[in-house]
A and B are shown apart, each in its own frame.
Chain A
Amino acid sequence: MIRLRVACLRALLTLALLSPGSVALAGGIVSLDAEVMRLQRRLQDLPTDQTVKQLRQQILDLQNELRRLEFMAKYLDGYEVDLDKVMDLRRQLARAQQTRVNFQQAISGSQRERFFPGVRHRLAAFTFDDPHATGLGDPISFLVAKKLLFSARVASFAIVNYRQGADHDPSSNLAYFDKVDAITKDQNFSLAIWGRITRTERGVRIDSFLQVPDDNEKSAYVRTVGLPADMGGGTLTAHLKPDRLLVQSLDVDQDKIDLFRTAAEQVATLRASPSAAAPVTGRFSERRDATGRIYDYSIIGSERDWVQLRLSDGISGWTSVDQFCIGICRALLDVADFTNDVVALTSGLTVLHFSYHITREAQAMLEQLRALVFLPNNPNRAIEIAERWARAGSSRGALPSSPGFANLLAVARVNAELSKPRNFDQIRLRRQAVDQIANQLAEASIADPRDTDIVENLAVLFAYLGDDKRRDLALEIAAKLKAKAH
């Protein structure tokens, strides 16, 4: 421990060491450590509900107070301070100034304006966290984002890249999915992706996550079925569930790590024609103009797996992710293919890629989304998909999506019955069939007692069956769940 104080007071410190306990005033030397601790606490307790300007000012005040303490210890007789603690706090304040204020700006800034407001499909992509300093965070984030953009299957599509990860930082106690939701608040992104790279015994592991942000209106991920007037006229609902998942956990051996760096370098290089051997015309990664703004670019052409880009400074050229990201690097791109398929499904397109290196829960999510898309007009197809996955998951949730599939199955079965040609408002389904659907759904409600869709759907079905006791219970549970969620 390095202590900063006026040297001539060493004799007095000797006396201080003999006194019991740790005290602020010891033998004529005043320790400023308690003051430093007080500043530390003030930094930790900075309220989050302030404007960026207020926050910046408070951090500035703390920095000034810390400087005053350092000055006292350096130049005034009778004061000492633990220099390690001062340096540590100084670092924390500098970090807080960067991350905390940036974090607040991300939130409050997003309330002011939306990025790409006219674009239909807007994705948020976060820098992959790299807590073990593998140096792969930026190349991997770059490759995934570019693959997403270059392979997008819908016409109106934009990616907002966040230059921060989802890990903990000093500015907030939020992390991971919750942090992504906080940062993208009010942006109404249809999806967000983020990830994390950690060292393993054999190399590195790259985890990639996808989520439907909390603030999303979720219309693309929900379907409803209205009951006929003769059945009470209620509505059955099926949401995509879960809407947060691990898409891929990719283990990369030590000797393959450089493939990602090399691929990112190559993808950032623009060429005169769609060929790896063509002359280089420029680079488009991280090019900034005089004001520090990253140059925009647009895709002006494509050929096979190459795209032609034009940067806002006039430079143009060809690049390709698939050409250069090969081997284990190609497996990473399945995260982007999966995400693009999710976006495509919500636009009414079909799934293109079935040979993903993705988790089973990601496969289940895509299938559930397919079933949801089929639900209104082709309920039998939805039943077929949901039955398969509900069976695969078992009723007690070996897959996170199992209760979601069970709910979707119940809604699809009712819709299949209602779809038979007859006068809609006079339809009354067989009680025995509805009773069976309701009882299976009640089982799913035990597997996931927090699923509001399930209990609300049960209330509708029990009402039709005349089971007032269970209907009231279902309504009561649903009301409590909704109150808790808010």
Chain B
Amino acid sequence: MVAPPFISRFVSAVVIACFWLSGAAADSILFGTVTDAITLQPIFGAEVRVEYGGQIVGAGTSNIEGRYRVPFTIPPTAPSVFSMTASARSEGHGVTRSDFQVTDGRPFNNTHDLALFPTGVTDCRSQTRHSVIVGHFLPPVGKDFVDLSTRVARSLEYALNTRLQTVRISLELLPSFEPCDAAKPRTPRFASNFAKALRADAFVGGEIAALTGSPTFTVTIYVSDAHGLFSVPPMASNRSVDLSSPSGASITGDTYSAVLASVAAGLAKKNDCVTAIAVLAVAERLVDQIPPYLTTLRRTCETRIPNAGLIRGPTP
């Protein structure tokens, strides 16, 4: 049960007023900037609170540049080094909480920045080592396909994890495919910000177009990555898709390949080029013509594996 925004705001204002009216003298000040985790733009008017042991000990709001300054009191029982919690909320965004350390009555770091996720997206942050977020598919006017991201995620999971298991990618390195219908990038280019902010390797989204005089649709799927692999997100279209079928939308080999390349790039970034090459080998088999991004990534990885030393130098 969530209180309506106006009640929340009212309560917040009362809390802040009570805090100042109580005459408590501020012991320290927390500074920072509140930004949108996806657009990276500053958020104006975000409510920022400092809490300790469940009690609010300071509150303030961010200015037009997203900057905030929150004076707070330090409870007399607190040790010399301890953690406090800063939280921020704003309309259209979920609450973000993060701890900061206080040493000898002052925040250990001078600034404590807070990034807010659009409402509904906060819970989509990935908890696994490698993941792919399947976001919103923009429907035609008057239509709604809210479960399409779930269907596409399930379809990707089966198709790709079975293939990755054929080359014995271990369970902890298998990507998870997580639907997040609340993630609605304005453009495919923007989707890489979602991938980065949600700690995923890739973001998959798309658009659905109705076909005149037909019960079927054209579904366009794009893949954006968090590692700078794609300057332009690869896209693939499927025509005559029956979205009433539980299989959802057909997914092309190009889409599979782009998703796997993103996962491989994530592995390479974590210095696991040995596994990345195995993932790339699977991706290469899913396309008729190997795209340049796969070739480039493979070449980069091949120079970074110890096996490269086995082909170097003439045999004595």
User: Interface residues, chain A, CB within 8 Å of chain B?
Assistant: 16-22, 26, 131-133, 167, 173-178, 196, 198-201, 207, 209, 242, 244-246, 396-400, 435, 438-439, 442-443, 445-450, 455, 458, 462, 465-467, 469-470, 473-474, 476-477, 480
Given A19-B3, A21-B3, A446-B305, CB of A175 within 8 Å of CB of B161? yes
* Residue contacts A-B, CB under 8 angstroms, 24 given: A22-B1, A131-B246, A173-B171, A177-B166, A178-B165, A200-B245, A201-B216, A201-B241, A201-B242, A201-B250, A242-B166, A245-B166, A400-B166, A400-B282, A400-B285, A446-B307, A447-B277, A447-B281, A448-B281, A449-B277, A449-B305, A450-B278, A458-B310, A467-B316
Contact of B47 with A by CB under 8 A: no
Q: Is B247 touching A177 in the complex (CB atoms < 8 A)?
A: no
User: At the interface, yes or no: B212 with Cβ under 8 Å from chain A?
Assistant: no
A397 near B166: Cβ-Cβ < 8 Å: no
Which residue, B162, B245, B284, B315, has most C-beta atoms of chain A within 10 A? B315
Interface residues of B in 286-316 (CB under 8 A from A): 298, 302, 305-311, 313, 315-316
Decide: A448 and B278 in contact? CB cutoff 8 A. Answer: yes
The yes or no answer to B141 lying at the interface (CB within 8 A) is no
| CB nearest to A445 among chain B residues | B307
Check B281 against A209 for contact (C-beta < 8 Å). Answer: no
Measured CA separation A201–B167 after assembly (Å): 29
Is B284 a contact partner of A199 (Cβ separation < 8 A)?
Answer: no
Assess whether B269 is interfacial by the CB under 8 Å rule.
no
Using known A-B contacts A18-B3, A448-B277, A449-B305, determine if residue A455 contacts B310 with beta carbons closer than 8 Å: yes
- The verdict on A209 contacting B162 (CB below 8 Å), with A201-B240, A448-B277 known, is yes
Cβ contact of B3, chosen from A20, A178, A446, cutoff 8 A: A20
Complex Cα distance A244/B247, Å? 25
B153 to chain A, nearest CB (A): 13
Q: How far is the CA of A470 from the CA of B278 in the complex (A)?
A: 23
In the bound assembly, the distance between CA atoms of A242 and B281 in angstroms comes to 12
Q: Is B21 an interface residue (CB 8 A)?
A: no
B306 contacts across to A, CB distance below 8 A: 449, 473, 476-477, 480
B11 proximal to A (CB < 8 A) = yes
Would you call B247 and A132 a contact (CB within 8 A)? yes
A22 to B250, Cβ gap below 8 A? Answer: no
Contact B167 A449 (CB under 8 A): no
CB distance from B151 to the nearest CB of A (A): 10
Q: From DSSP, what is the main secondary structure of chain B's interface residues?
A: helix
Task: List residues 261-280 of chain B with CB under 8 A from any CB of chain A.
Answer: 273-275, 277-278
Q: How far is the CA of A246 from the CA of B273 in the complex (A)?
A: 25
Question: Are A200 and B281 in contact (CB-based, < 8 A)?
Answer: no
- State the 3 A-B residue pairs at the shortest beta-carbon distance, nearest first: A442-B311, A177-B165, A442-B310
Is B310's CB under 8 angstroms from A473's CB?
yes
**Nearest CB of chain B from residue A136's CB, rounded to whole Å:** 14
Interfacial chain A residues near B166, Cβ < 8 Å = 177, 242, 244-246, 400
Q: How many A-B residue pairs have CB under 8 A?
A: 132
Given contacts A399-B285, A447-B281, A474-B310, 19 further A-B contacts (CB under 8 A): A21-B2, A21-B8, A22-B2, A177-B162, A198-B247, A199-B246, A201-B242, A209-B162, A246-B162, A396-B298, A397-B284, A397-B285, A400-B285, A443-B311, A445-B310, A449-B274, A466-B316, A467-B315, A470-B309
Which residue in B2, B158, B171, B277 is a CB contact (below 8 Å) of A178? Answer: B171
Contacting pair A450 B274 (CB below 8 A): yes
A178 to B168, CA, bound (A): 9
B-side residues, CB < 8 A to A, are: 1-3, 7-8, 11, 154, 158, 161-163, 165-168, 171, 216, 240-242, 245-247, 250, 273-275, 277-278, 281-282, 284-285, 298, 302, 305-311, 313, 315-316
Chain A residues whose C-beta falls within 8 Å of the C-beta of B307 in the assembled complex = 442, 445-446, 449, 455, 477
A200–B189 alpha-carbon span in the complex (Å): 30
A449-B161 Cα distance, complex, nearest whole Å:
20
Output the nearest chain A residue to B158 by Cβ-Cβ distance: A196
Question: Cα distance A458–B306 when bound, in Å?
Answer: 14
* CB atoms of A199 and B247 under 8 A apart: yes
> B241 — which chain A residues lie within 8 A by C-beta?
201
Bound complex: CA A131 to CA B246 (Å): 9
Residue on A nearest B239 in the bound complex, by CB: A201
Find the A residue at minimum CB distance from B241: A201
B306 to chain A, nearest CB (A): 5
What residues of chain A lie closer than 8 Å to B274, measured between beta carbons?
449-450
Chain A residues with Cβ under 8 A from B250's Cβ?
Answer: 200-201
Report Cα–Cα, A467/B307, bound state, in Å: 15
Contact B281 A176 (CB under 8 A): no
Tell me if A465 and B315 are in contact (CB < 8 A). Answer: yes
- Minimum CB–CB distance from A348 to chain B (whole Å) comes to 27
Picked from B161, B298, B308, B311, the residue with its CB within 8 Å of the CB of A439 is B311
The smallest C-beta distance from A155 to any residue of chain B, in angstroms, reads 31
Query: Is B247 within 8 A of A438, CB to CB?
Result: no
Name the residue on A nearest B171 (C-beta).
A178
Residues of chain A with a CB closer than 8 A to B167's CB: 242, 400, 450
A446 and B161 in contact, given A246-B166, A477-B307 (Cβ under 8 angstroms): no
Given contacts A132-B246, A201-B245, A398-B285, contact A446 B162 (CB under 8 A): no
Query: For residue A196, which residues in chain B have a CB less than 8 angstroms away from its CB?
Result: 158
Bound together, the chains give a CA A198 to CA B248 distance in angstroms of 10
Minimum CB–CB distance for A243 against chain B, Å: 9
- Chain A residues with CB below 8 A from B313, complex form: 469-470
- Which residues on A sit within 8 Å (CB–CB) of B309? 470, 473
Contacts of A22 in B (CB 8 A): 1-2
**Cβ of B240 to closest chain A Cβ, rounded Å:** 7
* CB nearest to A17 among chain B residues: B1
A388 to B165: give the CA distance in the assembly, Å. 26
In the complex with contacts A445-B310, A477-B307, A438-B1 CB distance below 8 A: no
Most buried by A among B11, B216, B242, B311: B311
Q: State A469–B316 Cα separation when bound (angstroms).
A: 10
How far, in whole Å, are A245 and B168 apart by their CA atoms in the complex? 11
Q: Which residue of A lies closest to B10 (CB)?
A: A20
Neighbouring B residues of A476 by C-beta, 8 Å: 306
List B contacts of A246 (CB < 8 A). Answer: 162-163, 166
Determine whether the beta carbon of B305 is less than 8 Å from that of A244. no
Residue of A with least CB distance to B174: A178
Cβ B161 vs Cβ A176 within 8 A: yes
Which residue on B lies nearest to A129, using beta carbons?
B158
A-side contacts of B158, CB under 8 Å: 167, 176, 196, 198
CA distance A469 to B247 in the complex (A): 54
